[in-house]
Amino acid sequence: MRAAPATDRDLRLDFFRGIALWLIFVDHIPSNIVNSFTLRNFGFSDAAEAFVFISGYTAAFVYARAMRERGFFTASGRILRRVWQLYVAHIFLFVIFFAQIAYVARTFQNPLFAEEMNIVELLREPDVTFPQAMLLRFNPANMDILPVYILLLLGFSPLLWLLLRAPTLALLVSALLYLMARAFGWNMPFYPAGHWVINPFHWQLLFAIGAWCGLYVTPRLTRVLNSPITLGIAIAYLVFALAIILTWRVPQLEDYVPRWLFHFMYPIDKTNLDVLRLVHFLALAVVTVWLVPRDWSGFRSPLLRPAIVCGQHSLPIFCLGIFLSFAGHFIITERAGGHLIQVLVSLSGLGIMTVTAFLLQWYQDMEKRAAAYRPMLPDADIAGGDV
């Protein structure tokens, strides 16, 4: 099987990654009426699955060409450079986020914020806890997904090498790791006790599936995904998941769920990427591909532009969303905010994320124009210019 050649940017990835970032921000604000309408309320999976899948898809799309043309070590160097960027961003976010929580907890004399956001150990023993954070063994609440992404990208070079040579074998190896982790209870340790909230040994399977799709979206695969049978199965599963979710909202409906099915399904574990969550996301992806083709004209609409731009600047927007989610939680808690305050806080945060993304895009475009103009300048101007 040949890898699909690199083509123009797929705006679907940017759009849905931007939507995922928005949903992650909203879901991280507890006691918020707006997060009653996010993806997790209509099925087994949520925005985290979308984020990891798109990250794998994008990583394969970006680094496969370098590995094919320049070799394993050059591509690995580029991947490791990105890992370092992510790690620096994570530590920076960790310090700012910790300072934000600690300031609010002490200024407003509310230690529950520190307990809720899981920084009590850091306040109590900073000399011990901070080095653990540097090793990715300690994180405040809501900062779980970025360390997982760092670890998945750190091990991406051998996976990409195998994907380019034996894609089916690569997926089988990833699935085997998933099954072994489930059988032996593998997970990354968390300080001072416990394990990571998102288990990278399980979530790597979704990352690998995303990378495989980024390389091998062939006409044959497209026909399979768009076939009435595949689409019908996907829709049926999504309806089934929605029906189960309704039983969580309306307890009386639980009586209609057979006991054997109840025992088979639960618990639907997010930490270890339960099979029901994985299948739900894949079914959602099948329906999405059918509804939103690559060349969909809707992406030219200014209404979709905010989500696309946020998705194109995912790392800074993700970090900003983490910071804003706690700020929103603080405002709602201290103001005893009703539904109106909750909606205003959520919309304000989304607005700040969007404005920031547009500013980043403006600066990026300005840098590109400057880079294109600079070679045209005389040597004297280059030497004397503002470099």
How many C-beta atoms surround the C-beta of residue 375 within 10 A?
7
Domains of the chain, by residue range, sit at 52-212
**pLDDT, mean of residues 120-138:** 91
Q: What is the pLDDT of residues 198-233, one digit of tens each?
A: 999 999 999 999 999 989 876 667 777 778 999 999
**CA–CA dist 179, 190 (Å, integer):** 22
Reported for 163-170, long-range contacts at CB under 8 A and 24+ positions apart, including other chains, are: 163/3, 163/60, 163/64, 163/208, 163/211, 163/212, 163/215, 164/3, 164/64, 164/67, 164/68, 164/215, 167/1, 167/3, 167/212, 167/215, 167/216, 168/1, 170/208, 170/212
Query: What's the pLDDT at 116?
Result: 86
**CA–CA dist 284, 233 (Å, integer):** 11
Cβ-count burial of 137 within 10 angstroms (0-12 exposed, 13-18 middle, 19+ buried)?
middle
Q: In this structure, are residues 142 and 117 in contact, taking their beta carbons and an 8 Å threshold?
A: yes
How many C-beta atoms surround the C-beta of residue 249 within 10 A?
9
Q: Could you tell me how many residues make up the chain? A: 387
Would you say residue 106 has pLDDT above 70? Answer: yes
Would you say residue 153 has pLDDT above 50? Answer: yes
Q: What is the pLDDT of residues 182-193, one digit of tens each?
A: 999 999 999 989
Q: What is the pLDDT of residues 290-332, one digit of tens each?
A: 999 888 999 999 999 999 999 999 999 999 999 999 999 999 9
Whether the CA torsion 322, 326, 331, 336 is positive or negative: it is positive
Query: What's the pLDDT at 387?
Result: 35
- Nearest to 327, CA basis, from 23, 28, 109, 92: 28
Q: What is the pLDDT of residues 236-258, one digit of tens each?
A: 999 999 999 999 888 888 888 89
**CA–CA dist 210, 54 (Å, integer):** 6
**Whole-model pTM?**
0.91
